Amino acid sequence: MSTTSLLVIAILILATLGYFLASKRAISTAGGDRRKLHSLPVYYGSNAAMFTAIPALGVLLIWLLAQPMLVERNVLSTIPDKLITEGSSIGLVMSDVRRVADGLEVVVSTGTLSQNETLKLDTEQTDIRALLAGVGAAVGSDVLPEMLEVAQNYRAQTKMGQLWMVLSIAPLALIGFALSVLAAKPTFRARNTVERGILALLVLAASLAILTTICIVFSMLFESINFFKLHPWTDFFFGGSWAPNFRGDSDLSILPLLWGTIYISIIALIVAVPVGLFAAIYLSEYAGPRVRAFAKPLLEILAGIPTIVYGLFALVTVGPALVRVFGRGEEGLLGVEWMSGATAVLTAGLVMGIMLIPFVSSLSDDIINAVPQSLRDGSLGLGATPSETIRQVVLPAALPGIVGAVLLAASRAIGETMIVVLGAGAIAKFSANPLEAMTTITTRIVSQLTGDTDFASPETLVAFALGLTLFVLTLGLNVIALYIVRKYREQYD
């Protein structure tokens, strides 16, 4: 068992011990009378466990993240130039060093050699590559003496780091343990302390979500910057053609893709907004409780279908059906030859619209229900019919919220991938004909990053620039939508 896991177990045992000792001590210092305690004994116990475990575990976590980086930096400077051969880089050598060092640790832990024996290893006498291969650690080339030296250095530093880790964290846990157990007296406000701890936990959870978003943006941003170093940004944003060519010299412009994305999204919204809104009006204003109890979950099931299934629906049902109507010349229903293949803007747009219906209807339903009943009563009391009431009072009152719902649906449409991969085709072009195949930003990201990819070529890196643009687009839509929805909520509070 490794040092780290032993340390964690020790801390947890100490924390449990602290829990029982502190709650017992609290009761005994109160002379066995619980009513004299400021908080319930449970709180004294939790407080002790919290102060024993959390600082120690927190420092441990940071240590585990920081130590490999520091060790690596120290070792990196000791790598002799001789190891860095033609076609290699310092990064590759470093990963070899790590592999050798880790392999030697495995050799020790399996008992093939003792700790001292591994330290005295010599490339002249032992075939280290074979030794490592014996325990399942594959090294790319024969281990040179310099390489072994660096690896031993790496091991020594790691060992030293681990020693310091135990030496600093164990006292930290013990201090927390001792202080919190000693603090367990009737006057100590353990309840308040524990609740502050819970508050800290909640804040941590909230900031993690935000931090993740920031990290996503940064990871995309750095790759996008790499892309713009290789490819002119003017061509990306203002060029007119998309023709990636893996031998280089590609046209990588977002505009044709953006056009496809927006075109398909608009068709999807034309389908989804009226149908979803009408469904929401029926469900919230006309449907009886029995219909509602039945229809609402049914609509929400639609929202739970994976989008790839919608994609299949587009591919095998909607596409061919559209071809039967608009294509096949004399054999088709209209006798025209407007549509040649099943993949088209209309196919993807229709199916995406169907996907968005429950999204729009469920959001709009909530918003319409939030309109106070007193407004409906007021309108009905003036002799308006239910339909007049909905058109002239309920919908205008709910309008900002509905606009917000539509914008949220739009941002989902723009980011949708699987339906367009299967339904829209792969041809990037500017065309107003909805029966032609077109492609979107998301499908191009998929195709640029699947298969053999070289993360140094603009043809691959363009995916990150596309992703970032998409992210900014949908983020902007979401921000506007949330702003509108929030503003609308204030109206009735």
Residue 378 interacting with another protein (CB under 8 A): yes
**CB of 381 vs another protein, minimal distance in Å:** 4
Of 379 and 439, CB closest to another protein? 379
Binding of another protein by 31 (CB under 8 A): no
Contacts of 80 (CB under 8 A, 6+ apart): 146, 150
Q: Which is nearer to another protein, 240 or 378 (CB)?
A: 378
Cβ distance to another protein smaller for residue 192 or 392: 392
Angle at 30 between CA 26 and CA 32, to 5 degrees: 95
Nearer to another protein, 45 or 404 (CB): 404
C-alpha span between 37 and 24 (Å, rounded): 12
At 32 the three-state DSSP class reads coil
Nearest CB to another protein, comparing residues 251 and 366: 366
* Minimum CB–partner distance for residue 474 and another protein (Å): 30
Does 335 participate in binding another protein (rule CB under 8 A)?
A: no
Tokens representing residue 311 in the block:
């994609």
Size of the site for another protein (CB under 8 A): 21
**Minimum distance of another protein from residue 397's CB (angstroms):** 5
Shortest approach of another protein to residue 491 CB, angstroms? 7
Q: How near is the Cβ of 396 to another protein at its closest, in Å?
A: 6
Nearest to another protein of 304, 381 (CB atom): 381
Count of other CB atoms within 10 angstroms of residue 216: 13
Q: Which of 275, 375, 426, 446 binds another protein (CB under 8 A)?
A: 375
Q: CA-CA distances (angstroms) from residue 204 to 11, 60, 228, 486?
A: 21, 17, 35, 25
- Considering only residues 379, 411, 439, 442, which one is a binding residue for another protein as defined by CB under 8 A? 379
486 binds another protein (CB under 8 A): no
CA distance 370 to 15: 48
Candidate list 374, 476, 483, 487; residue touching another protein; CB under 8 A: 374
388 interacts with another protein by CB under 8 A = yes
Nearest CB to another protein, comparing residues 120 and 391: 391
Of 354-362, 373-381, 415-423, 435-443, the segment contacting another protein by CB under 8 A is 373-381
- Give 3-state DSSP helix, strand, coil % of the chain, rounded to 5: 75, 0, 25
The token pair at 252 is 């990588």
Q: Residue 251: what are its φ and ψ, rounded to 5°? A: -95, 115
Shortest Å distance, C-beta 294 to another protein:
16
Binding mask 284-323 for another protein (x = CB under 8 A): ----xx----------------------------------
| Helix 441-449 × helix 458-490 angle, to 10° | 140
User: Which stretch, 121-129, 185-193, 351-359, 389-397, contacts another protein (CB under 8 A)?
Assistant: 389-397
Extract the tokens encoding 243: 């023709």
Largest distance between two CA atoms of the chain: 102
Please, what is the angle between helix 41-76 and helix 190-230, to 10°? Answer: 30
Q: What CA–CA distance (Å, rounded) separates 440 from 242?
A: 11
Please report, as residue ranges, which positions from 396 to 425 form the binding site for another protein (by CB under 8 A): 396-397
As measured in angstroms, the least distance from the Cβ of 483 to another protein is 18
Nearer to another protein, 111 or 288 (CB): 288
- 380 binding another protein? (CB under 8 A): yes
Question: Residue ranges of the alpha helices (H) in 77-121?
Answer: 90-110, 115-119
- Long-range (24+ apart) CB contacts under 8 A made by 229-238 are 230/457, 230/458, 230/461, 231/458, 231/461, 231/462, 236/462, 236/465
Tokens of 45: 């116990």
Two structure tokens written together for 327? 């294509």
Task: Name beta bridge partners: 339.
Answer: 327
Query: Which one of 294, 377, 430, 482 is in contact with another protein (CB under 8 A)?
Result: 377
* Binding region for another protein (CB under 8 A) out of 188-196, 241-249, 393-401, 404-412: 393-401
Quick check: 393 binds another protein (CB under 8 A)?
A: yes
Cβ burial, residue 150 (10 Å; 0-12/13-18/19+):
buried
Binding mask 259-288 for another protein (x = CB under 8 A): -----------------------------x
Q: Distance between the two ends of the chain, CA-based, in angstroms?
A: 58
The verdict on 372 binding another protein (CB under 8 A) reads: yes
Joined together, the tokens standing for residue 333 give 């229903």
- The stretch among 194-202, 345-353, 379-387, 425-433 that binds another protein (CB under 8 A) is 379-387
In angstroms, give the least distance from the CB of 384 to another protein: 5
Q: How far is the CB of 478 from another protein (least distance, A)?
A: 25
What minimum distance in Å lies between the beta carbon of 282 and another protein? 16
Provide long-range contacts, Cβ within 8 A and 24+ apart, for 163-167.
165/3, 165/4, 165/7, 165/60, 165/63, 165/67, 166/3, 166/7
Q: What is the contact surface with another protein in residues (CB under 8 A)?
A: 288-289, 372, 374-385, 388, 392-393, 396-397, 491
